[in-house]
A and B are shown apart, each in its own frame.
Chain A
Amino acid sequence: NAGVMQNPRHLVRRRGQEARLRCSPMKGHSHVYWYRQLPEEGLKFMVYLQKENIIDESGMPKERFSAEFPKEGPSILRIQQVVRGDSAAYFCASSEGRQNQPQHFGDGTRLSIL
């Protein structure tokens, strides 16, 4: 299965710890998007990256959150000093980046903050 791979599927952290979420895009895709899904809510865009570049981070909180997509390896969404409100499902999607090409989603990382 060459779909979007996210890990871990579930992540538990205590308040104040760091959370690292990983996403490997589909083969041939060079564009990665991160979305957050809060309970009973739809998905909200956070950040859009291409290899080694952040293209749009308009949906990302200004503090504690960062994202990268290095030349080699998966995209990483990093949350520092987590708080209870960070508990959510975080989804990664990838696309070819061409017009009208759909985004394909991973199964998400469920982050729980104790």
Chain B
Amino acid sequence: GNSVTQMEGPVTLSEEAFLTINCTYTATGYPSLFWYVQYPGEGLQLLLKATKADDKGSNKGFEATYRKETTSFHLEKGSVQVSDSAVYFCALSFNQAGTALIFGKGTTLSVSS
């Protein structure tokens, strides 16, 4: 079946540290891949996406590259800030209109000053 696996958290970093959150997927076909971020008490916000192999999604200093050969979509940021503290979800969906998102369990990031 289709699934998403994320590294378990929490991830605890100091401000300005480099961030990597690993995400791998299993899919029958060629999905689109997403990273969503959830701040405390809020809903999910789309952070970035990639719709085909070798695409790189980027937003707010975060990047992720769709790697078909390793079925991965790792999230990276060169220098994290305290305001980046949140839960990060990797997700996939298929490109037909109206298909549901399949989420990983989420990774909590805590950044201290």
Interface residues of A (CB under 8 A from B): 4, 6, 31, 33, 35, 40-45, 48, 50, 55-56, 59, 91, 93, 95, 97-108
Contact = CB atoms under 8 A, between A and B. Distances in A.
Nearest to B90: A42
Interface of B: 4, 32, 34, 36, 41-46, 49, 51, 89, 95-98, 100-106
Contacts of B102: 45
Contacts of A40: 105
A99 B103 contact: no
Contacts of B89: 42-43
Contact of B96 (A41, A50, A99, A107): A99
B98 A42 contact: no
B101 A91 contact: no
Q: Which of A42, A55, A103 gathers the greatest number of chain B CB atoms within 10 Å? A: A42
B103 A91 contact: no
Contacts of B98: 31, 48, 50, 55-56, 95, 97
